[in-house]
Structure 1
């Protein structure tokens, strides 16, 4: 199995090196324990203080103070068609980094589609763009890894033709049926019969389906890069909720207490091994 390599890089002074390393460790665990087995993916995640330190072959996730445009955040490809992601720094930067990592690993080049029945009445089988974190991207559905709140993501069963109570549709179980869109999430697809692009969003009080063909045709780049640019989600435009900030802090505090206990344990073990012993002289 080919191993993908992700580089987490901060270009903001608001993130300490220790915090960047903690988030990279949480992302590594998510990739190895959660995402990898479900999507048959193998990946490494490493933190780098500087872009120039990132080795060749790594796909960077870059956190910046200001992206300047909400639609600019998200997936991109460089001039060599290699993937990278831009993340706007805010209180949910780790959550957004997780979102981008999951989508980048499942669909590195932003063009993967799956055929399934349309959620729009009157359409037959359509081609859904695989964006594993978009239908469940709201911070309400995040889960904790190493005390850091990360993004939920859907499973390959998300596009099943029928629903089953025995099937897992997203990692946390928040998605309970095929092609379900949770609050503040969205789903995009191509109708091959007409050549039109459609998008279902749940940004208000109900789900809305719109024809986005004209917007898609105005832009260049991969399918996912275009979708990201024309979809200013509540997460990008409004940031994370107060409830998320409170929950994130609670998990971080619990992890810090656990870390203090672990530190004390290892300090005791180190001292036990290297503590100078008294030499008993022979009489």
Structure 2
């Protein structure tokens, strides 16, 4: 059976991000969703750019870029109908907000409502079986592990094998291969889980220092999705993790100016050919 297709809209309400840039990033996100994410997570998706929020069809999940989003408001939320939407902080560096947009898109498509969990042995030695929150970009969310699609920087994401009980040769744990073993995080990343015996949520984070750290989040109450509650706690650290953009990316490919010059050269060639066809008509 073909997966049910989900529709995502990318909209800018920012003075820093114009419609042209939104269209370029939306095209890259569409390619990432259909080429990279779809086969691994068995999802179908479209990603389209819209000039105004009022233009977005009602069955699309909006991702809205704004200038006035505080750390606590960034991330994926549920609207009054229980449908997901994302708020993304604008940035003068396209690679920063495109990376954030990719992060939110991947997580929205894999877990639209922010409560999906997978059981496994805890990575904390004094705990037993726990349930891990499925946030596919968090463990390798830093710009160091981002990659490029159409010259646009997008987020790495883990595969379902990320939750395997043991590591095995030749297994892909994240799209770029940056994650080498199950349930492991990289600098700038984190993972969240629920200890059912104590009803406490925990994280392993790597937001500084030479080693990751454990921290207790306490009990998370209802009213909002688990993901949105965790995002409020980690959003400032996430913003720092992506703030370097392409400069620190191991897999970032060519820089934006180089990609732009390639596009300009192709456009010039097409214009020349079009002019020749018109002249010969």
Deviations 1:214-246 (A, max 9, x none): 4x23x7301111111122343325761276389
Q: Which segment drifts farther, 168-177 or 199-208?
A: 199-208
Q: Indicate whether 1:236 and 2:258 are aligned.
A: no
- Counting only pairs closer than 5 Å after superposition, residues 185-200 of structure 1 correspond to structure 2 as 185-200=189-204
Deviations 1:6-26 (A, max 9, x none): 000101111121111000000
**Alpha-carbon separation, structure 2, partners of 1:207 and 1:259:** 41
Counterpart for residue 206 of structure 2 = 202
**Alpha-carbon separation, structure 2, partners of 1:116 and 1:7:** 34
Q: Which has the larger radius of gyration?
A: 1
Counterpart for residue 101 of structure 1 = 105
Q: SS of the residue aligned with 1:211?
A: strand
Deviations 1:66-100 (A, max 9, x none): 213x1221010011110001011122111100000
Counterpart for residue 17 of structure 2 = 15
Aligned CA distance change for structure 1 residues 32 and 246 (closer, same or farther; 3 Å): closer
Point out where structure 1 has 5 or more consecutive residues left out of the alignment: 278-283
- Counting only pairs closer than 5 Å after superposition, residues 1-283 of structure 1 correspond to structure 2 as 1-68=3-70, 70-90=71-91, 91=93, 92-205=96-209, 206-214=211-219, 216-217=220-221, 220-237=223-240, 240-241=243-244, 244=247, 251-276=255-280
Deviation at 1:269, TM superposition (A): 2.7
The alignment's TM-score, normalised by the length of structure 1, stands at 0.91
- 1:220 touches 1:226 (CA, 8 Å); kept in 2? no
The alignment's TM-score, normalised by the length of structure 2, stands at 0.92
Deviations 1:181-235 (A, max 9, x none): 0001010001122222111111111211112124x23x73011111111223433
Q: SS of the residue aligned with 1:275?
A: helix
Counterpart for residue 280 of structure 1 = none
Deviation at 1:250, TM superposition (A): 5.1
Aligned CA distance change for structure 1 residues 116 and 255 (closer, same or farther; 3 Å): same
Aligned CA distance change for structure 1 residues 249 and 11 (closer, same or farther; 3 Å): farther
Point out where structure 2 has 5 or more consecutive residues left out of the alignment: none
Deviations 1:97-143 (A, max 9, x none): 00000000000111100011110012111100000000100011110
**Alpha-carbon separation, structure 2, partners of 1:220 and 1:73:** 17
Aligned CA distance change for structure 1 residues 245 and 203 (closer, same or farther; 3 Å): closer
Deviations 1:231-266 (A, max 9, x none): 234332576127638997952112112112211232
Deviations 1:140-159 (A, max 9, x none): 11101111111100000000
Aligned CA distance change for structure 1 residues 38 and 249 (closer, same or farther; 3 Å): closer
Structure 1 stretches of at least 4 aligned residues deviating more than 3 Å after TM superposition: 245-250
**Alpha-carbon separation, structure 2, partners of 1:222 and 1:171:** 26
Aligned positions, number:
274
